[in-house]
Amino acid sequence: MQNSLKTFALSLVGLFVVGGLWTFLSLNVAPDLPSPWRTWQESKIYVLNPWEKRGEMDQGIGLMTAYSLFRVAKGFFLAIAIGTPLGFLLGASPTFFKMFDPTIQLLRPISPLAWLPLGLILFRQSEPAALFTIALCSMWPTVINTMTGVRAIPQDYLNVARVLRLSPWKQFTKVWLPATLPYMFTGYRLSLGIAWLVIVAAEMLTGTPGVGGFLWQEYNSLIYSHILLSILTIGVVGFTLDRMMGFAENKLRTV
């Protein structure tokens, strides 16, 4: 108890140090950068009325975040719906692994900014292009972790399945899936993190309403305090998502 209180106090100190640095920079080095206080003054209308819709790109921060989260959710579920079976196949079949691993290693490091134009060409609309980009970029941790999990299934359990002559389906549901589940969730957590990173880029480029789109629009309107508001929102939401997935992951580990 004493310890966790101390940890919390220290994290607050860290926050104040960074806030102080921000204030210092805005007052002395970069006059265009709004101070924390000015940021709050100029953007509190968005925070205090989070669900207010005044125009297409002029909406409360709650609504903007909801749009982005909804988009991320769709892209993320697409990613894990493709990534999980792919990971299982790669982990289970050496032939399949040898066939596709090089390609995957090649696709993995490609930036979302590179995929988005391709998505726009393919789908001719910003929404599916954004989903395509999110899914393609965030899929890989799920693929890799699921594959690792399948490979890490203890031989003992597989032997039990063989001795009991379990059908392939039963082997999958009774042995493979439960043994791999913790690894899968590690992959899901990392994938969701990436999906949230990608959404900002995708919205900036496509100009759709959401935190990323809002950020880009306010940059074009030269309202810098709103950019900072967006950045802070992105951080807070990303942190919350990660903690939620981490919680689910830990639940599974203890089982």
Partner 1 sequence: MIRPLIITSLTKTFDTASGPHIAVKDFDATVQPGEFVSLLGHSGCGKSTVLAIVAGLQQATLGGVIVDGREIDGPGLERALVFQSPCLLPWCNTRENVMLAVRQAHPKLNPKEQKELARKYLNLVGVSEFENTLPAELSQGTQQRVAIARALSLEPRFLLLDEPFGMLDSMTRFELQDLVLELWEKDRKTCILVTHDIDEALYLSDRIILMTDGPESKVGLELPITLPRPRDRRELADNQEYYRLRKVVIDFLEHHSRQFTQEKAA
Q: Tell me the closest approach of the beta carbon of residue 187 to partner 1, in angstroms.
A: 19
Q: Tell me the closest approach of the beta carbon of residue 155 to partner 1, in angstroms.
A: 10
Nearer to partner 1, 36 or 178 (CB): 178
Nearer to partner 1, 222 or 255 (CB): 255
Q: What is the Cα–Cα distance from 123 to 240, expressed in whole angstroms?
A: 32
Nearer to partner 1, 176 or 216 (CB): 176
Q: Tell me the closest approach of the beta carbon of residue 125 to partner 1, in angstroms.
A: 43
Q: Tell me the closest approach of the beta carbon of residue 169 to partner 1, in angstroms.
A: 13
List of residues 6+ apart from 110 with CB closer than 8 A? 136, 137
Nearer to partner 1, 185 or 196 (CB): 185
Q: What is the Cα–Cα distance from 205 to 88, expressed in whole angstroms?
A: 34
Q: Tell me the closest approach of the beta carbon of residue 80 to partner 1, in angstroms.
A: 21
Type of residue numbered 199: I
Residues that bind partner 1 (CB under 8 A): 156-157, 159-160, 162-166, 174-175, 178-179, 255
Q: Tell me the closest approach of the beta carbon of residue 192 to partner 1, in angstroms.
A: 24
Nearer to partner 1, 5 or 255 (CB): 255
Nearer to partner 1, 14 or 94 (CB): 94
User: Do residues 151 and 168 touch, judged by C-beta distance below 8 A?
Assistant: no
**Could you tell me the two tokens for 127?**
């929404």
Q: Tell me the closest approach of the beta carbon of residue 146 to partner 1, in angstroms.
A: 17
Nearer to partner 1, 66 or 160 (CB): 160
